[in-house]
Amino acid sequence: MEKWIYLQLKLCCISFLILKTASAQTVSADTGVYPAALSKANAVYAIAIGTQLPLNNGPEYYFYNPLEIRGSAYFMELPFTNGDVYYDGAEYRGVQLLYDLYKDEVAALLYDHFNKYVLIKSRVSNFDLTGHHFVNISTDSLPANTVLKGGYYDELYHGRTQVVSKRYKVIQNYQSNGGIMEAYNFFTDTKEDFYIRKGGVYYPISGQGALLDVFKDHKKELRQYIKLNKLKFGRDPHGFLASIAAYYDRITN
């Protein structure tokens, strides 16, 4: 029922602004009147709905106290940044998002640029942030024999096989051994684990050897491909894994 109301309001906004704009000038396919009206309608829609958007129905998000813990818990150390999210069956574009790698939570900033809410994870299908596509892999969808845990994963490749990486941060404690005693907690640099899904099972990948063990049915061809293209896991693990998985899918098609 709520989605129907939101849709009706948005359509009304679009219709009103198109008619208003059209009354002032002749509408043609080349004028750009419709895109301009659509953009204005989106803004009016956002203001009209305000905090009632389904996107904003999670618990409030709180920043970490810098006096208690140093550093950043966020993806690429970024503050709220423009992104897209597929939430509760609907796509929302141009939303201010924040990805907390320590809690594995995504927060959204409201249109008042003050209130911030945690997106309910079970309702998030995927989200895009700074060129990265994150997918929500639920625990219920995983087989019992997998090492993967449910959560948000950066999807590096998606075909018959899939390559994902898990980015995360942990909290460590520092204590000085020098003359001045100092102790504090801090967020570590981003850590990252890689996985490949084959036959519905996710396998951890720590390097070229582990990858070839997963794709052992075509190990010889993959070694030749790696050598020919001068690929190295350590130099570019993202590109290496995506390239090999795509090639494996191609030769096993």
DSSP character string of 53-116 = SGGG-SPBP----TTTEES--BGGG--SEEEEEEETTEEEEEEEEEEETTTTEEEEE-TTSS-E
Residue 185 lies in a domain: no
Q: Does residue 215 lie in a domain region?
A: no
The pLDDT tens digits along the chain (253 residues) read 444 434 444 444 444 444 444 444 444 444 455 555 544 444 444 443 444 466 777 899 999 999 999 999 999 999 999 999 999 889 999 999 999 999 999 999 987 788 899 999 999 999 999 999 999 998 887 776 678 889 999 999 999 999 999 999 999 998 877 666 677 899 999 999 999 999 889 999 999 999 999 999 999 999 999 999 999 999 999 999 999 999 999 999 8
Task: Write down the pLDDT at residue 147.
Answer: 81
Q: Letter for the amino acid at 82? A: N
Q: pTM of whole model > 0.85?
A: no
**Which residue stretches of the chain are H helix?**
2-24, 33-49, 208-214, 219-228, 237-251
The answer as to whether 45 is a domain residue is yes
> Is 206 domain-assigned?
no
Predicted pLDDT of residue 146: 73
- The C-alpha atoms of residue 161 and residue 248 are separated, in whole angstroms, by 8
Does residue 137 belong to any structural domain of this protein? no
- What's the total number of domains in the chain? 1
What residues make up the domain containing 18? Answer: 2-52
Residue at 23 is within a domain:
yes
Reported as a single tens digit per residue, the pLDDT across 129-160 is: 999 999 999 888 777 667 888 999 999 999 99
Is residue 99 one of the residues assigned to a domain?
no
Separation of alpha carbons 129 and 97, rounded Å: 8
Distance CA 193, CA 206 (A): 8
User: For residues 165 and 193, is the Cβ–Cβ distance under 8 A?
Assistant: yes
Q: Which of 107, 110, 126, 102 is nearest to 118 (CA)?
A: 107
Virtual CA dihedral for 198, 203, 205, 209, nearest 10 degrees?
Answer: -70
pLDDT of residue 37: 53
Query: Among the residues of 150-218, which ranges form H helices?
Result: 208-214
- Quick check: is 246 in a domain? no
